[in-house]
Structure 1
Amino acid sequence: MNTPDTTTGGTDAAGLRERVAALLASHDPATTPRQDFLRARFDAGLAWIHFPEGLGGLGAPRSLQPVVNAALEEAGAPDNDPRRIGIGLGMAAPTVLQYGTAEQQRRFLRPLWTGEEVWCQLFSEPGAGSDLAALATRAVRDGDDWIVDGQKVWTSSAHLARWAILLARTDPALPKHQGLTYFVCDMTDPGVEVRPLRQITGEAEFNEVFLTGVRIPDAHRLGAVGEGWRVAQTTLMNERVAIGGTPVPREGGMIGIVADTWRERPELRTHDLHQRLLKLWVDAEVARLTAERLRQQLRLGRPGPEGSGMKLSFARLNQDISGLEVELLAEDGLTYGDWTMTRPELVDFTGRDAGYRYLRAKGNSIEGGTSEVLLNIIAERVLGLPPEPRTDKDRPWKDLPR
């Protein structure tokens, strides 16, 4: 990995523009191959500027990242296709940065950011979805390796991924939250089997993953043995911000699609639909501004439980807006383009028809933490309400009914 040129420009807005200019001078986007340009941007510290030097950043304030992005976009530079590698960027990278060794950070972060290696998340299981800490996938120590056996489910991008962040049980004699350890799993290793899960949309965007005697070196463990739950909280908090806090312009996303339909097709309008559209438009604008405030807080430190509120709001809004769109379009809202088995790389809400949006939005209240779990988090960690009774919290996992 090349050493970033720290002699050109500072880490304020003007200095960052100087660094961008230097990068563009040495790597013309019009003639430099895309991957070469992305690698050079990472090595120059302009990937995620708040990361440390040598790891794609400059230790600069996160709030200045838009300065870099805008300057590169204006120059026609390629981006790293962030939607395609969202799990790596939004979930794996913050976890590797916080808990990874220096060697792990050097190995994983650069190809993750450039998109050369796609990541997925092996957390949920058939018997432990909402109650993630009850998971049963086992990792047993064997010298310098761990032998992993189990099954994971609802794994986005598993059919594309090279690496996975994996939570497994290493001590069944401890209570469920204490006996977990966090690993990085090579999805190309023997014993890893990925099977498609066909959804209500007809596509197989999700997968189930079977792990049979998979050997993971201890060098691919993140955090200490038995501290997997603490490490996973970093992943989960960042995941909810990534899902619910994505920046959108005013009247962007799904509410913009419905508003455009309302303006373009006056014959569809009714008073009741008008009132519902106005309410959802206001709700969407409140959510957008709240997400911006959350991102401002995130620039000052790590995400907290507030991200759960944004993810919950995101799910409810998507479902309500897509439902209104189907009603607004009347019989046209019942059409569905092509119910064909495909394995998409991206979830595309805006480039599809209303039927797809209505069906796919149902998954928003499950992925990234179910709405019921998020309500508990908000009640207990944001509002300070008494927690629900949990009789299994201090019992050994092996003694719990399953």
Structure 2
Amino acid sequence: MVTLASNISESGLPTSNRSVVGFPLNCPPADFDPLRDLPGGFIDFLRPLQQRFTPWQQALVEERGRVLDDSHQGNKPAHRYPAEAIRNGWRIQLPDWCPDQRNQMTGPADDADLVVKMLNSGAPGVMLDLEDSTVNEWQHQRMGVENILQALRGTLTYFDRKRGNVVGIKPSSTVIWIRPRGLHISQGGIFGDELTSASLFDVASLVFRVDPSELKHPLSFYIPKSESADEAVWWRDLFQALAEARGWPKDYIKCMALVESHPLAFQMEEFLYNLREHILGLNLGRWDYMASLIHFNLDDPAWVLPDRNTIPHNVPFFQNLRELMPEICHKRGVLAIGGMTALYPSREDPELNGRALATLEKDKKNEADCLMDGA
């Protein structure tokens, strides 16, 4: 996966973040009126989902804390007892619009210029991101949702100042994936002082306004930051509740998921099983995985890593996961996508460019040798 970044300026935007226990919480502006400022009927659509899924999300976040505390006490994450998800011969059938995901690009959904360029790049997959590469701030998130909706319809444009013309999205078979904010994030201000799961809010905001007749393939999400197979049940039930509310087949919404936490590395097969009516692949989010690995080993003074840029791509804790993921994915019929590439070519420095491309070539050859289906 190739990540593209945009230069985001927040000058002139009214601040809408409030602090909760030292962390910023995304909230609408002070004069926000959900009945006036959100699409008509959306609050009534969201309310029963809020009552069901936000308490569940908060319980899952609390469970994450207990698992982390256990790890710091010496009870490290490990494989579960092999239950039905491991023993049975179930498989997932990939739809005909998805098998080729050899290259996936990603960038912030709030940058219309970048979104259009990615969708015109010829990449077989593009992930429009509301998470890591988009500021968790009200205006940026809402702009991201609007851009995604227009991109799904093929109507998003930007003005090319250099050439003096409007550029739109060209027809293509590129699969559009959407990454919502993760389960660890809450959205404030939608129901008064109540918190709302940001994952719920993002996915529901899109599902409520999407017309399947305008899409070239089913609505598809990229699940971030999962930490257990139990969390896959939350996503499964959310997808099916939303499909039921819209009158769609219960398996209409599709997804891929990032493996970027240490506990999930031990539960990939169970995670796939719980989402088997929806999921089409796993992606190795290796930088976040390394951060998670550090987090779960903070109690061990001997577990210290050097600067991440000095760590080789085939270091054992990456390589073990890189080899296991395709084995599990192919056993169950889904795609295995390699780690994100954040190496940027430099037109001004041929030597730097050569080193970056040489490192990239070794990295991607390693992933191909591990039988990854894409990157």
Q: TM-score range by the shorter chain?
A: under 0.3
Scaled by the length of structure 2, the TM-score of the pair is 0.27
Scaled by the length of structure 1, the TM-score of the pair is 0.26
The structure showing larger relative contact order (alpha-carbon pairs under 8 Å, at least 6 residues apart) is 2
Structure possessing the higher radius of gyration over alpha carbons: 1
**Higher helix content, 1 or 2:** 1
